[in-house]
Amino acid sequence: MSDMPLKRLHLVGHAAGATLNFRAPLIADLVAAGCRVDVLAPDWTPQQLERLRALGAQGALFPLARTGLNPLQDLRTLWALYRHLRRARPDAVLTFAAKTNVWGMLAAAWAGVPRRVAMVEGMGYAFTDGEQGRRTLKQRALGWVLAGLYRWAFRAAHCVLVLNPDDARDLQHDCGLAAEKTVLLGGIGLPLDEWPCQPPHFEPLTFTLVARLLREKGVREFLEAARQIKGEYPKTRFWLLGPLDENPGGLTRADIEPWVREGLVEWPGAVDVRPWLAQTSVFVLPSYREGVPRSTQEAMALGRPVITTEAPGCRETVVDGLNGFLVPPRDVAALAAAMRRFIEQPSLVETMGRESRRLAEERFDVRRANALLMRVLGTKRN
């Protein structure tokens, strides 16, 4: 790959809000390197476009159905991306999320874009075992289709970035990703100066889960553990932060509200998590599988100990017994036992939280991730 700075790069994302939240530091670094950056998403609002322009980049719309496999809708996405890229002729394209990886890579190859890079930030619903510890027939069917599409798209990519070694192995084995095209990125990282360490929080002792409300995030296990702990320690507080989601694994309002009415958990919905995490004692993510979860990185940066699962992507965030505890996925008893450790030994909130911040500085500095991304894309900062 060339070390010459790119003149023009296109990022293709599945949602404008997520792209701004997770890619803003990368966009700023690319612009600072002298690159013109265009960001394609299906749902830009005027306010989001204003934020994007403040970073020095431009936005454009394209049609995308986030979920489902409707061939006509997906062909419309492919055709729209091809026409845009053919007209714009960028030097490189970076895609992320399943559908944009597939149709973005194919459109970029068809349009003759010289450098094509995809990022797989997690295996997603189709490849994640469900609440019973296995995939449903629907998941297996979706996984079979997506694996075939990935094989096609990965042949069109020059490079595929993955966040953890388990995903790299599975993509190579199941989806035909060539080892020589695979680059292990680790977490996408945070601008740590924007996430300063906060004093530990003890009263009341508060456990917080931040996630889209999907079954595979371990939301039910969190709620069941909350019921056990609240029965033993009524003053303990539980927060569930995050929106409902149209994903096939999504929970409904009717699934969550009984727990709220019972007084076991507070659920404010989608919120700015920073003030909530500042009043959190322990961050909890009982997920069945992740890339490397951004929510956990944020909690660690703020100095919060973590309870998460011994699952792909999750285990990259915790050194068991140092900055938190690892528990088996889907194991409510083990999750509740880890919570009790903090209740019975509250000094762990401070000592493990301090280690979380140290590990965040060591592993999740966005400058490190962006430097690697920019090398892969074929550019460098001036």
Burial class of residue 135 (count of CB atoms within 10 Å of its CB; 0-12, 13-18, 19+)? middle
Selection from 36, 28, 34, 14 nearest residue 102 by Cα: 14
pLDDT band at 381 (very low <50, low <70, confident <90, very high): very low
Same fold, 8-189+365-377 and 192-363: yes
| pTM for the whole structure | 0.92
Domain 8-189+365-377: CATH superfamily, name plus number: Glycogen Phosphorylase B; (3.40.50.2000)
* Domain 192-363: CATH architecture, name and number where available: 3-Layer(aba) Sandwich (3.40)
Q: What is the mean pLDDT of residues 3-29?
A: 89
Give the span between the Cα atoms of 299 and 364, in whole angstroms: 12
Please report the pLDDT score of residue 1 as a whole number.
44
User: How far apart, in whole angstroms, are the C-alpha atoms of residue 251 and residue 236?
Assistant: 24
Q: Note the pLDDT of residue 125.
A: 86
- Check residue 364 and give its pLDDT: 97
- Give the residue among 295, 155, 275 at the shortest CA–CA distance from 212: 295
Q: Hey, where are the domains in the chain?
A: 8-189+365-377, 192-363
Residue 41 pairs in a beta bridge with 61
191-197 mean pLDDT:
96
The chain-wide mean pLDDT, for the chain, equals 94
Q: Give residues with Cβ within 8 angstroms of 62, minimum separation 6.
A: 12, 40, 41, 42, 77, 80, 81, 84
- For residue 216, pLDDT over 70 is answered with yes
C-alpha 325/C-alpha 40 separation (Å) is: 39
pLDDT score, position 5: 58
User: How confident is residue 167, by pLDDT bands cut at 50, 70 and 90?
Assistant: very high
Nearest to 281 by CA among 342, 363, 366: 342
Write the pLDDT tens digit of every residue in 315-365: 999 999 999 999 999 999 999 999 999 999 999 999 999 999 999 999 999
Instruction: Decide if pLDDT at 205 tops 50.
Output: yes
Q: How far apart are CA 205 and CA 198, in angstroms?
A: 15
Distance between CA atoms of residues 332 and 217, nearest Å: 13
Residue 208 has pLDDT above 50, yes or no: yes
pLDDT for 299 beyond 50: yes
What is 314-368 written as a DSSP string? TTTS--BTTTEEEE-TT-HHHHHHHHHHHHH-THHHHHHHHHHHHHHHHH-BHHH
Mean pLDDT across the stretch 100-117? 97
Q: Over pLDDT 70: what percentage of the chain?
A: 98
CA terminus-to-terminus distance, the chain: 17
Top-confidence residue, 60 or 380: 60
